[in-house]
A and B are shown apart, each in its own frame.
Chain A
Amino acid sequence: GAVVSQHPSWVICKSGTSVKIECRSLDFQATTMFWYRQFPKQSLMLMATSNEGSKATYEQGVEKDKFLINHASLTLSTLTVTSAHPEDSSFYICSACAVAEGDHNEQFFGPGTRLTVL
């Protein structure tokens, strides 16, 4: 199956700093990548859909000026949490869309990035 990587896996930072998370599709080109956030014991919450070469589409309630998304190439999307605060502490997961076996579109998930803001 397709492989998606995320970096870093863990981030601990002070309140007010900015954190950049990278999402890479390693063995396929992903025109669309998705960014999710998951709080403890809750389901995935889609934050934004990122299309290569264009502006990301943010879900309702997600501040686009706080969560900056850049999808500069077909294999890389970045999420920058600007001026992070403790309430931004969460598990951030990216996924990339590819055609899987059986010809259906499938989202392949990265391993996630756990952000802790002190």
Chain B
Amino acid sequence: GQNIDQPTEMTATEGAIVQINCTYQTSGFNGLFWYQQHAGEAPTFLSYNVLDGLEEKGRFSSFLSRSKGYSYLLLKELQMKDSASYLCAVLDSNYQLIWGAGTKLIIKP
């Protein structure tokens, strides 16, 4: 079966750095997405990785290792507005998005 694993909840302090991990087992791989979802709102796109390595975009970076079926989202200089759920999703061989359950990130002052 297809499976995406990510922690249910994480807590971090304002101004700090947090890393949210995602491991996946899917039938084929055509890229991995990270989305941010605030409560009561639709997801918004953060990043897309299809090759191994680190993609940096401002305070957010995303890393992928296809051989390990592993990705992480790194958030630096955390702000209170970063409190949200972070969803990992993999595009499988049929170009279907397989979603993780999401990681709820709580930022404390």
List the interface of chain A (C-beta within 8 A of B): 1, 34, 42-44, 46, 49, 91, 93, 100, 102, 104-112, 114
Alpha-carbon distance A49/B94, docked complex (angstroms): 12
Alpha-carbon distance A44/B99, docked complex (angstroms): 7
By beta carbon, the residue of chain B nearest A49 is B96
Partner of A104, one of B41, B43, B50: B50
Alpha-carbon distance A105/B31, docked complex (angstroms): 9
Asked if A46 meets B97 with Cβ closer than 8 Å, knowing A91-B40, A105-B91, A111-B42, the reply is yes
CB <8 Å contact, A106 and B48 = yes
CB <8 Å contact, A102 and B41 = no
Q: What's the dominant secondary structure at chain B's contact region?
A: loop
Chain B residues positioned under 8 Å from A108 (CB to CB) = 45
Partner of B45, one of A1, A49, A110, A112: A1
By beta carbon, the residue of chain B nearest A4 is B42
By beta carbon, the residue of chain B nearest A93 is B42
Chain B residues positioned under 8 Å from A42 (CB to CB) = 101
Known: A42-B101, A112-B42, A114-B40. 17 other contacts (CB 8 A): A1-B45, A43-B99, A43-B101, A44-B43, A46-B97, A46-B99, A49-B96, A93-B42, A93-B43, A100-B45, A102-B48, A105-B95, A106-B33, A109-B43, A109-B44, A111-B41, A111-B42
Chain A CB within 10 A, most for which of B40, B41, B42, B97: B42
